[in-house]
Amino acid sequence: MLAILLALAMAALAAPMCVRMLGRNGFYVLALVPFGCLGWVIANWGSTQRVRVGWAPSIEMNIDLRFDTLAAIMSALVLGIGALILVYCARYFEDDEPRLGVFAAQLVAFAAAMFGLVTSDNMLLLFVFWEMTTVLSFLLVGHNAEQAVSRRAAIQALLVTGAGGLAMLVGIVILGQVGGSYLLSDLLAGPPTGGAATVAVVLLLVGALSKSAIVPLHFWLPGAMAAPTPVSAYLHAAAMVKAGVYLVARLAPAFAGSPAWHPLILTLGVASMVLAGLRSLQVTDLKLVLAFGTVSQLGLLILLVGIGTPDAALAGAALIVAHALFKACLFMVVGIIDHGAGTRDLRELSGLGRRAPVLRAVAVLAALSMAGIPPLLGFVGKESALGALLDADILAEPARLVLTAGVVLGSILTVGYSIRFIWGAFADKGLPPLAPDADSGSHGRGHWHAPGATLLGAPALLAVGSLVAGLVAPWLDRLLNPYAKTLPGVLNSHLALWHGFNTPLALTILVICAGIVLFRMRGRIGESATLLGNADRAYDATLRGMDRLSLRMTGAVQRGSLPLSQAAILVTLILLPAVLLAVGTRTGIRLRPWDSPFQAAIAAIMVAMALCATVLRNRLASVLVVGVTGYGCGVIFALHGAPDLALTQFLVETLTLVFFVLVLRAFPAEIEASRTAAFKVRRAILSVLVGATVAVLAAFAIAARSTEPIWHLIPDAAYTFGGGKNAVNVLLVDIRAWDTLGEISVLVVAATGVASLVFRHRRFGSAPRAVDAPNYDPDLVSWLPAGRLVDRRYRSMVLQITTRLVFPTIMVLSVYFFFSGHNAPGGGFAGGLTAGLALTLRYLAGGRYELGEALPVDAGHLLGAGLALAAGTAAASLLVGAPPLSSALLQVTLPVIGHVKVVTALLFDLGVYLIVVGLVLDVLRSLGARLDSELASAEDESASPRGGFQ
């Protein structure tokens, strides 16, 4: 199973290159992968296979896969029909189709996600694959992103199924905690009971019903018909919408007796079957006829697998296979009609049956199976379904009769819209017939472009499969009934074409006759059946209501005044902790003002500088005094024995000062008198209270400690598990590396956001080099490559000479901090900040051209490489069977260097190093080089003569 997942994943990665090299014929090559995987499924049918790979056992997150009969049924559909869809794509699309390689990759990746979903035994892993199908469905439905209808359909499908997935995740967590295991096999063997378990089951059903488009969460499926037809034939007929049916079928053996199970499953299943069947008789787009028919039949499938009896489960399994065969076939037929005639509107199609008799035969065969006509598999499954409903002793007699009546009514509607589909696509309606198209490149209205044998082969194979499966029903029964036997009770019925004259046969005859009559009365089914159409409008109304609510909430709390917003936040910071401390605290405060008189002196300086910042009008002076407070904080860290924190504080404070100075160049030196705020008592009181609140909270937090501090254990743990003596750095790159990975990810996102705000359209890219300067002279000699290009008014020879001498030393120091950080003060963050200071010095001495000479690399590339390296380190440990982000210690003895000890966390630290350097470079190029360029342009414009000839 792992090999199948890896094979499909590799095929998805190779798909863009394959399609780029072979064009649309690349789909043939890609189809070989699921075909080959299908061979493994067939070879292991009837056996139970298990795979377990440890990943994060402490949180029950392991790769647990289980292959049984139900998984085999779903896997065969996912892989077999998926392969046929890829073959179909090879002739459905043209070579000039945009993003065809990406589409192929997404389609193969979807097959991998679905296979993972149906074979997952761990519910958390199942949820991961579940959400992968949601995201890939969003991408596939929105393939034609330039069309508004595709974007709307993709977002609608994502919101509905994503919301259902979140509800399902909550249910998974509750059920796993209540049941004591997240393995489906364990929960099915010993299902938990009680109120919490009932809530969990309901939440799981919400996720399943949303994925399978059951009323009232059905409306996303007809909207998703904006997707290319291969997507509809695969996701919305054979794969994605079956995920919810699969989940219900998987849980039914243990949870069908849950109090909320039958009312929810049976009621919504019948409602979906009837209401969507009515809607299929209204719409005029052939694809929508099939889409609403899919909703109707999904209602029947959910109902059957949710009843909880072996007979109903067998009928449900048979209909799952039948539905996948005939519905995928019919969607592909619609794609051929749309491809050849240029329309799917049944009102515009006429005489196509004479022009395409083979296509008509394929469609008729599949539609007969959909309508439940013998001897096709659809008839076998429908007969078994009626018999299972009539014999479902688990239900009360009135409930059985109501359900049977609902299924009979839905089946009548199915026969009606099946006939309507064939009539709408192929019948003569008195319109001008479609003429044969001599030009194979023209698909305009009024012409018919006949499909090739390859394009027609995939749907034909599925239609013939429906017929053959019906004829060999007893053999199919032996393949499917092992799943039915997992449900409590005795399996009384079997799949067969002929069960004798009985009640199900009489109901089938009634269904067929009534369906024919209903088709003849189709014109009388007017707007009275628009109930399902209102759901889409309800979705729009819900979104509009949420938008209005968010605007009102924003308007209530965001009044457009920054001081007011800050005051609200700070008042909350004061009042909430004060009330909680007054009501709930039982600890006193033990204060030790200082350990050394130096600390008191530094604190006094910091307070004085903070007060100065509130009264100074010179912007640069204000920044400098604020910087003094930061340096004072670093000194306090150093006095308390935290050199790592002190080093980082000094470096960050220095870079912050430089960045402030870069920004202040675009501002006047002094704050205008009109913009100077007068002293306000309320602001002063608020600031004092905030400071006092923070100090009190810190004092209470320190006094609240009642056990031995954890930091007593960290040094030993750092050396034992992380192989380093610097506990701070080992914490960042090993013990709590997940936190660091999240933080640097946020840092990259923030850098990208700031760059987009500054540049508006795209990044500034690499700063220009000296050779790009208009006044560059290669014969000029300078201490710095771009030093001569700085305007004489701003050029400092002393600074350039100092930079030339000091820059290599700072870079060596940066590398030293990076390598020594695991055992001494330093690390990737400190090393990156030091390198950033070196780059800043080069920029200050030589200008924007010198920055390009120092590091001619795009900052975005550094950020991406750093994040990829850090995340790759997390994934690499999985390849050797270790938990993610776990470190390994490598020790070697070299001839000259001696004994060398390297920890693999060094690679993670290198990612941090690159991200910090990239962030500094981004700031220097946005607030420095970019601003220099704009200021130079402004100076040139002001210096140019006004008026006359220029």
For range 750-773, the mean pLDDT: 63
Q: Name the 3-class secondary structure at 155.
A: helix
**Model pLDDT, residue 946:** 37
Q: Which residues pair with 50 in a beta bridge?
A: 66
Among 282-286, 395-399, 763-767, the minimum mean pLDDT is found in: 763-767
- Residues whose CB is less than 8 angstroms from the CB of residue 492 and which lie 6 or more positions away in sequence, other chains included: 310, 311, 391
Mean of pLDDT values over 7-26: 92
Residue with the larger pLDDT of the pair 101 and 724: 101
Between these two residues, 305 and 756, which has the higher pLDDT value? Answer: 305
Q: Which of 561-570, 849-858, 906-915 ranks highest by mean pLDDT?
A: 906-915
Residue 818, pLDDT > 50, answer yes
- 925 in Cβ contact with 751 (< 8 Å): no
Per-residue pLDDT band for 62 (boundaries 50, 70, 90) equals confident
pLDDT at position 30 is: 94
pLDDT-derived band at 35 (thresholds 50, 70, 90) equals: very high
β-pair type (61-67, 49-56):
antiparallel
* Cis, peptide link before residue 459, omega less than 30° from 0: no
856-877 per-position pLDDT tens digit: 888 888 888 998 988 888 777 7
**What's the gap between Cα 602 and its chain centre?**
50
Say what the pLDDT of residue 440 is: 42
Q: Which residue has the higher pLDDT, 712 or 137?
A: 137
The Cα 465–Cα 455 span in angstroms is: 17
Note the pTM of the prediction, 2 decimals. Answer: 0.74
Q: Find out whether 266 and 303 touch, Cβ atoms under 8 Å.
A: yes
pLDDT at 436: 59
Region 323-350: mean pLDDT is 89
What average pLDDT does range 57-65 have in this prediction? 79
Residue 98, token pair as written in the block: 């945009």
What phi and psi, each to the nearest 5 degrees, are found at residue 64?
Answer: -110, 115
What pLDDT was estimated at residue 858? 83
Mean pLDDT confidence for 713-733 = 83
Q: Give the model's pLDDT for residue 529.
A: 46
Measuring CA to CA, how many Å separate 641 from each of 252, 419, 507, 595? 61, 84, 86, 12
Query: What confidence score (pLDDT) does residue 438 get?
Result: 42
**pLDDT higher at 777 or 950:** 777
With pLDDT > 90 as the criterion, what percentage of the chain qualifies?
A: 38
Instruction: Name the residue type at position 182.
Output: Y
> pLDDT, tens digit, for every residue of 509-546?
999 999 999 888 876 665 444 444 467 777 888 888 88
Written as six digits, the tokens of 900 are: 């060398």
In this predicted model, what pLDDT tens digit does every residue of 884-941 receive, in sequence order? 777 777 777 878 777 777 788 888 889 999 999 988 888 887 776 666 666 556 555 5
Give the HSE-up count for residue 670: Cα atoms under 13 Å, Cβ half-sphere.
3
Which amino acid belongs to residue 473? A
Compute the distance between CA of residue 759 and CA of residue 935 in angstroms, rounded to an integer.
15
Pairing of strands 61-67, 889-894: unpaired
Quick one: how far is CA 358 from the chain centroid?
42
Give me the pLDDT at residue 945, please.
44
pLDDT of residue 217: 86
DSSP 43-76: HTTTS-EEEEEEEEGGGTEEEEEEE-HHHHHHHH
Tokens of 915: 């991200």
**Confidence class for position 779, pLDDT limits 50, 70, 90:** low
Across 364-368, 497-501, 846-850, 903-907, which has the greatest mean pLDDT? 364-368
- Closest C-alpha among 410, 406, 399, 196 to residue 295: 410
- 401-417: average pLDDT: 93
pLDDT at 491: 87
Residue 79 has pLDDT above 50, yes or no: yes
Q: Which of the two residues, 176 and 881, has the higher pLDDT score?
A: 176
Mean pLDDT of the chain: 84
What's the pLDDT band for 675 if we cut at 50, 70, 90? low
- The helix (H) or strand (E) run that includes residue 901 is strand 898-903
d(CA 87, CA 919): 47
Indicate the range of 461-465, 547-551, 604-608, 774-778 predicted with least confidence. 774-778
Mean pLDDT to the nearest integer, 840-865: 83
Residue 134 has pLDDT above 90, yes or no: yes
Residues near 697 by Cβ (< 8 Å), separated by ≥ 6? 577, 581
Whether the CB-CB separation of 134 and 154 falls below 8 Å is answered with: no
Rounded mean pLDDT of 90-94? 88
* Share above pLDDT 70 across residues of the chain, in percent, rounded to a whole number: 89
- Interatomic CA distance for residues 837 and 814, integer angstroms: 9
Closest CA to 832 of 725, 949, 912, 933: 912
Checking if the pLDDT of 205 tops 70, the result is: yes
* Better-scored residue on pLDDT, 360 or 452: 360
